[in-house]
């Protein structure tokens, strides 16, 4: 097996945790021994951080693999996967590291496990630099299920920066194969809705202000639709720590979903948080693609694994997506063909079995 080891340069393109997530998930799924070097080489804190380490350990455990070099600050790991098994698997970042990113690395693997799986993921549910759990449930889930599988996502506890403390339980049954998808027809926007939340000590007024500012911003551009953004006070027993944020979803006549989201930070007004999310949503609706900029890269691994040709129409292809394509082509030996149509791109891919 040693001779067939795949060598991955962790310092190219996106140059961060995403290279690790894509390459270890595909290594696990395809039974390919893997060495990743120069992990997060260009980052201010190079090497593995707690959330990357917990993701790697989870992948190792769910296939009884061998993992070397896995410690905080390490810039090189070697991974030898074995057979993927179902059952209960736990990952805890012990920080506000994103549970959604843990889900990104583990979900494709357990899709092909020997039996049903339960993933217990602990960390931040609504954290910076990662999808919010609400995005995962409201946008990623319904779209990714078009590949022909379902999963259940139970938010036990929400956790925010800097403490984390959130917990999500994902349950899924394995499939024999994934079906290709075709997301090329955007349709017209039929609904806009969302949730603006506060947790912990933050006053409910902050949620109402975020929602109102977002609605005002969207109304300037989209006048003929009712925009329904619910302000929410997270129950005390379902949220750890303090946080605020907003997610807004646009749904289209063909079932496409787009989002804009934002999180509160110290010194940022509620209005600004609401407006940032609204502007992100509007930008995602302007590019003419059928998926938003945060969904593109999350679909690549599934497209690579699907049995047949998938097509998605995107706006400008993000660096995360280019990175996911690069490593899917290197490891899964699939081929992505971007074709430029007007200002948007259509990604075609011939998947493997």
- The answer to whether the beta carbons of residues 289 and 314 sit under 8 Å apart is yes
Clarify whether residues 125 and 239 are in a common domain: no
Q: Domain of 273: which CATH number?
A: 3.30.360.20
- Tens of pLDDT, residue by residue over 33-78, are 999 999 999 999 999 999 999 999 999 999 999 999 999 999 999 9
Clarify whether residues 105 and 194 are in a common domain: no
Clarify whether residues 202 and 252 are in a common domain: yes
In a domain, 1, yes or no: no
Decide: pTM greater than 0.85: yes
Clarify whether residues 147 and 54 are in a common domain: yes
Clarify whether residues 82 and 36 are in a common domain: yes
In a domain, 252, yes or no: yes
State which residues form the domain around 243. 189-287
Clarify whether residues 66 and 171 are in a common domain: yes
In a domain, 308, yes or no: no
Clarify whether residues 29 and 128 are in a common domain: yes
- 104 labeled part of a ligand binding site: yes
In a domain, 299, yes or no: no
- Tens of pLDDT, residue by residue over 291-333, are 999 999 999 999 999 999 999 999 999 999 999 999 999 999 9
User: Measured at the alpha carbon of residue 254, what is the angle toward residues 251 and 258, in degrees to the nearest 5?
Assistant: 30
Calculate the alpha carbon distances from 177 to 64, 108, 246, 302, 308 in Å.
22, 11, 35, 11, 10
Residue 1: the pLDDT is 43
- Which residue numbers are catalytic? 320
**Cα–Cα distance, 82 to 63 (Å, whole number):** 5
**Cα–Cα distance, 170 to 159 (Å, whole number):** 16
Clarify whether residues 170 and 264 are in a common domain: no
Clarify whether residues 86 and 11 are in a common domain: yes
- 331 labeled part of a ligand binding site: no
- 298 labeled part of a ligand binding site: yes
Clarify whether residues 265 and 329 are in a common domain: no
Domains contained in the chain, number: 2
Q: Domain of 105: which CATH number?
A: 3.65.10.20
In a domain, 211, yes or no: yes
Clarify whether residues 200 and 173 are in a common domain: no
Calculate the alpha carbon distances from 278 to 65, 262, 343 in Å.
44, 9, 22
Clarify whether residues 118 and 238 are in a common domain: no
- 132 labeled part of a ligand binding site: no
- Tens of pLDDT, residue by residue over 262-299, are 999 999 999 999 999 999 999 999 998 999 999 999 99
- 294 labeled part of a ligand binding site: yes
Task: Please state the φ and ψ torsions of residue 317, each to the nearest 5 degrees.
Answer: -75, 125
**Structure token pair of residue 117:** 């799986």
- 230 labeled part of a ligand binding site: no
């Amino acid at each position: 097996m040693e001779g067939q080891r795949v060598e991955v340069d962790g310092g190219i393109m996106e140059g961060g945790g995403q290279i690790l997530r894509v390459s270890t998930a595909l290594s696990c799924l395809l039974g390919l021994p893997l060495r990743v070097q120069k992990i997060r080489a260009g980052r201010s804190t190079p090497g593995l951080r707690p959330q990357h380490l917990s993701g790697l350990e989870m992948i190792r455990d769910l296939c009884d693999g061998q993992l070397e070099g896995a410690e905080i600050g390490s810039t090189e790991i070697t991974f030898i996967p074995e057979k993927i098994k179902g059952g209960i698997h736990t990952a805890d970042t012990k920080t506000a590291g994103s549970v959604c990113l843990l889900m990104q690395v583990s979900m494709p693997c357990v899709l092909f496990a020997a039996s049903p799986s339960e993933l217990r993921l602990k960390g931040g549910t609504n954290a910076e630099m990662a999808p919010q759990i609400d995005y995962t449930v409201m946008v990623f889930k319904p779209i990714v299920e078009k590949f022909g599988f379902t999963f259940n996502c139970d938010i036990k506890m929400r956790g925010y920066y800097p403490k984390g403390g959130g917990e999500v339980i994902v349950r899924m049954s394995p499939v024999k194969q994934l079906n290709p998808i075709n997301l090329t027809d955007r349709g017209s926007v039929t609904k806009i809705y969302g949730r603006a939340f506060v947790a912990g000590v933050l006053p409910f007024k902050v949620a109402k202000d975020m929602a109102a500012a977002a609605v005002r911003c969207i109304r300037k551009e989209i006048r003929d639709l009712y925009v329904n953004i619910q302000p929410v006070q997270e129950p005390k027993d379902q949220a750890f720590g303090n946080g605020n944020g907003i997610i807004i979803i646009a749904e289209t006549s063909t079932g496409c979903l787009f989002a804009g989201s934002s999180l509160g930070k110290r010194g940022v007004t509620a209005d600004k948080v609401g407006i940032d999310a609204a502007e992100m949503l509007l930008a995602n609706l302007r590019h003419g693609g059928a998926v938003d900029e945060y969904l593109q890269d999350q679909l690549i691994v599934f497209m690579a694994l699907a049995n047949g040709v998938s097509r998605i129409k995107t706006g400008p292809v993000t660096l995360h997506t280019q990175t996911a394509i690069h490593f899917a082509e290197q490891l899964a030996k699939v081929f992505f063909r971007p074709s430029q149509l007007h200002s948007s791109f259509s990604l075609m891919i011939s998947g493997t079995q």
